[in-house]
């Protein structure tokens, strides 16, 4: 099989590390918005 010469970005993504930041009092409003967006994206995946 011949190698395909691709232009632009690689087809696979590099590994990414996420470091959580712990706070004494988290922002509940931002957390709520994030959870709602996650729920929406999971619901859209099923359809």
Q: What is the pLDDT of residue 13?
A: 66
Distances (CA, A) of 35 to 7, 18, 25, 28, 45: 37, 17, 17, 10, 15
Residue 29 is predicted with a pLDDT of: 94
pLDDT over 60 (residue 46) = yes
pLDDT tens, residue by residue, 17-45:
888 888 888 889 999 999 999 999 999 88
Work out the angle at residue 3's Cα, subtended by the Cα atoms of residues 13 and 10, and round it to the nearest 5 degrees: 15
On the 0-12 / 13-18 / 19+ scale of CB atoms within 10 A, 38 is: exposed
- Tell whether pTM > 0.75: no
């Amino acid at each position: 099989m011949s190698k395909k010469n691709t232009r632009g970005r690689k087809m696979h993504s590099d590994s990414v590390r996420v470091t959580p930041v712990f706070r004494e009092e988290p922002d509940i409003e931002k957390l709520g918005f994030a959870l709602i967006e996650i729920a929406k994206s999971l619901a859209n995946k099923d359809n």
